[in-house]
Amino acid sequence: MASHPPLVPRGGKVSLESGGARTRANRRSDFAIWWREIDRTLLALVLTLMAIGTVAVAASSPVSARRLSTASVRLDDLHFFYFHIRFQLLGLVAMIGASMLPRERARQAGILLCGAMLVALWLVPLVGFSVNGAKRWINLGMSLQPSEFLKPAFAIGMAWILSWRARDPGLPVVEIATGVMMMIGGLLMFQPDFGSTILFIGVWFVMILMSGMALKRVGMVGGAGLAFLLLAYMFYDNARHRIDAFFSGGSAFDQVDLAQRTLLAGGWTGSGLWLGTRKLGLPEAHTDYIFSVIGEEFGLVACAIIVALYLALVLRVLLRLLEEEDLFTTLAAAGLVAQIGGQAFINILVNLQMFPSKGMTLPLVSYGGSSTIALCLGVGFLLSITRRNPFIKRERFKLASVGIRV
């Protein structure tokens, strides 16, 4: 019997629709694989912090809006809240997009971003512009702070350099990483941005420790760190003024003292949303001192919950890395979570008057443009490089494996 060709309508619509169906099926399949492989607990912790940040910026936005309003231009009380929502949406897009990258692609993207931001950091003294006396921004159609986007890229770039040792143990990877760190530190202090310099040094130190640095070298690095702080105090005005203000105890009108008073004003349960009064005297209430606003309006219990969420985020990543065998993945993930945890730690201690003022936001919570998007991008990289095939069985972590008996 003669065979007949299949009936196909003119224009080939069936084939086109079949191709479109296959594309949609592939996308659904990619999304399903991504959802199975990412750390959903880590994602939930991050989204919880971002949700808290949304409410906190709504509480602090009126303070900053009224402070920046003039006789001719009056900002809406929720001016910064509306902008924060936009930046959060952009950040979520960056986070999900980066988290869907395969590990190798995330590594390549991070290295390229690190190189681009290093170039941009060199351009800041030449074509950058100043805000509040600090020259940290460049205009690329929109205001961009290169140091913020360098933070997640720095962790991946350092991990890439330090992981060269796995191929050739004779390579001076620590020396190369230290040279890069010194260059970045010099550029940041020139802006000046002493707070970010300290954060970058902390992330660098965590990563070289995890790369297997000898104890003798650890002592040398510690001594060099103390020497750096001493020299910064002696010759770097920005650092000296902040340290002097911290140890002198300040006055009732100092930023850090105002922040502590605001933080404690709400007691355990807080005064309620938009009912705080001490926050009205705070500068940068929506950024650097948002933790104090949370303390006044939502209470110390809410502050404790936020601290617990950050601790849970750091612990979750570290536990996930216990059985990780790839050196790059271990170093990059540790560096990324050290950056987030370290920045949160510094910001909270500043608000508690236990650390000199650094001009550093509370990650994933504070208002920010470049900082919000960059932090979300860093979380996306973290989710990408810690993705795991759920069908590959791994030995479950036990407290006994680290010497803890229950």
Nearest to 359 by CA among 350, 372, 369, 370: 350
Instruction: Please tell me whether the peptide bond between 146 and the residue prior to it is cis, using omega within 30 degrees of 0.
Output: no
One pLDDT digit (tens) per residue for the chain, 406 residues: 455 555 545 555 544 455 666 666 666 777 788 888 899 999 999 999 999 999 999 999 988 888 888 778 888 889 999 999 999 999 999 999 999 999 899 999 999 999 999 999 998 888 877 776 677 888 776 778 888 999 999 999 999 999 888 787 788 888 888 889 989 988 888 887 888 888 999 999 899 888 776 666 667 767 777 777 777 667 666 667 666 666 665 544 467 778 888 888 888 888 888 888 888 888 888 888 999 999 999 999 999 999 999 999 999 999 888 878 888 999 999 999 999 999 999 999 888 887 777 778 899 999 988 889 999 999 999 999 988 866 665 554 444 443 444 3
Q: Which two tokens stand for residue 66?
A: 């009224």
According to the model, what pLDDT value does residue 25 have?
A: 67
According to the model, what pLDDT value does residue 252 have?
A: 42
Helix (H, G, I), strand (E, B) or coil at 360: coil
Amino acid at the residue 84: H
Residue 367: phi and psi, rounded to 5, are -65, 145
**Cα separation of 270 and 255, whole Å?**
21
Residues whose CB falls within 8 Å of the CB of residue 319, separated by 6 or more in sequence, listed in order: 397
According to the model, what pLDDT value does residue 402 have?
A: 39
**Cα separation of 302 and 294, whole Å?**
7
According to the model, what pLDDT value does residue 23 have?
A: 66
**Cα separation of 347 and 196, whole Å?**
12
133: which DSSP letter?
T
Helices then strands, counting H and E runs in the chain, come out as 13, 3
**Cα separation of 289 and 266, whole Å?**
15
Nearest to 51 by CA among 345, 351, 306: 306
According to the model, what pLDDT value does residue 90 have?
A: 94
C-alpha dist (Å) from residue 105 to 110, 112, 162, 255: 8, 11, 18, 43
Query: What per-residue string of b and e applies to 95-113 under the rule 16 or more CB within 10 Å gives b?
Result: bbebbbbebeebbebbbeb
According to the model, what pLDDT value does residue 235 have?
A: 63
C-alpha dist (Å) from residue 142 to 86, 117, 196: 14, 15, 22
According to the model, what pLDDT value does residue 399 have?
A: 41
Amino acid at the residue 221: V
**Cα separation of 357 and 346, whole Å?**
9
Bridge partner list, 137: 129
Helix (H, G, I), strand (E, B) or coil at 140: coil
* Contact indicator for 59, 289 with CB cutoff of 8 Å: no
According to the model, what pLDDT value does residue 226 have?
A: 75
CA angle 118, 120, 123 (to 5 degrees): 115
**Cα separation of 76 and 95, whole Å?**
29
C-alpha dist (Å) from residue 110 to 119, 149, 155: 14, 10, 8
According to the model, what pLDDT value does residue 82 have?
A: 93
DSSP H helices in 279-392: 290-321, 327-351, 370-385
Query: What per-residue string of b and e applies to 257-284 under the rule 16 or more CB within 10 Å gives b?
Result: ebbbbbbebbeeebbeeeebebbebbeb
Q: Other CB atoms closer than 10 Å to residue 191's CB: what's the count?
A: 23
C-alpha dist (Å) from residue 107 to 46, 316, 334, 380: 21, 21, 14, 12
Rounded to the nearest 10°, the torsion over CA 329, 154, 378, 217 is 50
